[in-house]
Structure 1
Amino acid sequence: MKTIDPLLLGLILTLSSPQIGCRGVPQAQHPADVLLPCEYVLLEPGATGLSFTRQKVTLVLRNLTVTAEEPSETMPEYQTPEDTEVPIFEATVNLPLLPFAERLLHVECDGEEIVCEITPLYSQFFIAHIRLPELNIALVTKAESAVDPDKTLDEKSIIQLSGDLLVSSGPPSQRASISKEAKLTCAVWGDVEGVDMEWHLQKDGKGRRLNPEEDSSVSVEKNAQEGKEEISLTINPLTVHYEGTYICAVSLGPHRLQQILQLQIKEPPQVTLSLVEDPVPTLICRTDHYYPLDVEVEWQLNGAPLTDATPVVSSHRRNSDGTYSLSNQLQVSIPPSGASPDTYYCVVSHVSNEEPIQVEITVSQPEPTLLFQIVCFASLLILLAVMLKAIYMFARTVPHGVEREKKLS
Structure 2
Amino acid sequence: MKTIGSLLLGLILTLSSPRIRCAAVPQTQHPADVLLPCEYVLLEPGAEGLSFTRQKATLVLRNLTVTEEESPETMPEYQTPEGTEVPIFEATVNLPHLPFAERLLHVECDGEEIVCEITPLYSHFFIAHIRLPEINIALVAKAESAVDPDAPLDEKSITRLSGDLLVSSGPPSQRASISKEAKLACEVWGNVEGVDMAWHLQKDGKGKRMDPEEDSGVSVEKKAQGGKEGLSLTINPLTVHHEGTYICAVSLGPHRLQQILQLKIKEPPQVTLSLIEDPVPTLICHTDHYYPLDVEVEWHLNGAPLTDATPVTSSHRRNSDGTYSLSNHLQVSIPPSGSPPDRYNCVVSHVSSEEPIQREITVSPPEPALLFQIICFASSLVLLAVMLKAIYTFARTVPHGAEKEKKLS
- What is the TM-score with the length of structure 1 in the denominator? 0.86
Measure, in 2, the Cα distance between the counterparts of 1:177 and 1:310.
33
Per the alignment, residue 244 of structure 1 pairs with 244
- Offset at residue 373 of structure 1 (A): 6.5
Q: Does residue 100 of the first structure (1) align with residue 100 of the second (2)? A: yes
Aligned letter for 1:195?
A: V
Q: 1:265 to 1:26 in 2, by over 3 A?
A: farther
Q: CA deviation at 1:300?
A: 0.9
CA contact (8 A) 2:340 2:365 kept: no
1:295 aligns with 2:295: yes
Matched, 1:55 2:52: no
Contact 2:344-2:362 at 8 Å conserved across structures: yes
Q: 1:392 to 1:216 in 2, by over 3 A?
A: closer
Q: Structure 1 residue 191 and structure 2 residue 191: aligned?
A: yes
Q: Secondary structure at the match of 1:386?
A: helix
Amino acid at match of 2:188: V
Shift of 1:47: 2.2
2-side partners of 1:379 and 1:235: how far apart? 70
User: What displacement does 1:366 show?
Assistant: 5.1
Q: Is contact 1:30–1:75 with CA below 8 Å preserved after alignment? A: no
| CA offsets 1:298-345 (integer angstroms, 9 cap, x no match) | 011111111110111000111111111010001111112222111111
Partner of 2:89: 89
Q: Structure 1 stretches of 5 or more lacking a match?
A: 1-24, 398-409
Instruction: Report the 3-state secondary structure (helix = DSSP H, G, I; strand = E; otherwise coil) of the residue aligned with 2:292.
Output: coil
Please say if residues 30 and 74 of structure 1, whose CA atoms lie closer than 8 Å, have aligned partners that are also in contact: no
Q: 1:274: Cα distance to partner?
A: 0.3
Distance, in Å, in 1 between the alignment partners of 2:242 and 2:26 is 39
Change (3 A) 1:278 1:226: same
Q: Distance in 2 between matches of 1:95 and 1:144?
A: 18
Equivalent residue for 1:172?
172
Equivalent position SS for 1:383:
helix
Question: Amino acid of the residue matched to residue 103 of structure 1?
Answer: R
User: Is 2:227 aligned against 1:227?
Assistant: yes
- Partner residue, 1:76: 76
Could you say what the CA RMSD is over the residues aligned between the two structures, in angstroms? 2.4
* Contact residue 271 and residue 359 of structure 1 kept, 8 A: yes
Q: Partners in 1 of 2:50 and 2:299 — Cα distance?
A: 49
Change beyond 3 A, Cα 1:283–1:26? farther
Match of 2:273 in 1: 273
- Cα distance in 2 for residues equivalent to 1:146 and 1:391: 121
The reply on whether 1:120 has 2:113 as its aligned counterpart is: no
CA distance in 2 between counterparts of 1:319 and 1:48 reads: 43
Compute the displacement of 1:392 (Å): 12
| Within-5 A mapping of 1:327-406 | 327-365=327-365, 377=377, 380=380, 383-384=383-384, 386-387=386-387, 390=390
Shift, 1:73, TM fit: 3.8
1:310–1:330 contact (8 Å) kept in structure 2: yes
Match of 1:212 in 2: 212
SS in 1 for 2:380: helix
What corresponds to 2:16 in structure 1?
none
- Whether 1:160 aligns to 2:160 is yes
Q: Deviations over 1:187-241 (max 9, x none)?
A: 0000001111010000011100000000121000011101000010001110111
- How many residue pairs match? The answer is 370
Report SS of the residue matched to 2:116. strand
Query: How many angstroms apart in 1 are the aligned matches of 2:116 and 2:335?
Result: 64
Query: Offset at 1:378?
Result: 8.1
Following the alignment from structure 2 to structure 1, what is the Cα–Cα distance between the partners of residues 167 and 308?
58
Residues 314 and 388 of structure 1: CA distance in aligned 2, closer, same or farther (over 3 Å)? closer
Q: Secondary structure at the match of 1:103?
A: helix
Contact 1:239/1:321 (CA < 8 Å) preserved in 2? yes
Distance 2:201 2:366 in 1: 56
Structure 1 residue identity aligned to 2:334: I
Taking structure 2 as the reference length, what is the TM-score of the superposition? Answer: 0.86
Does the 8 Å contact 2:246/2:262 carry over to 1? yes
Contact 2:201 2:246 in 1 (8 A): yes
What is the CA distance between 1:166 and its match in structure 2?
0.1
Does the 8 A contact of 2:337 with 2:367 survive in 1?
no
Shift of 1:26: 7.4
Contact 2:337 2:366 (8 Å CA) reproduced:
no
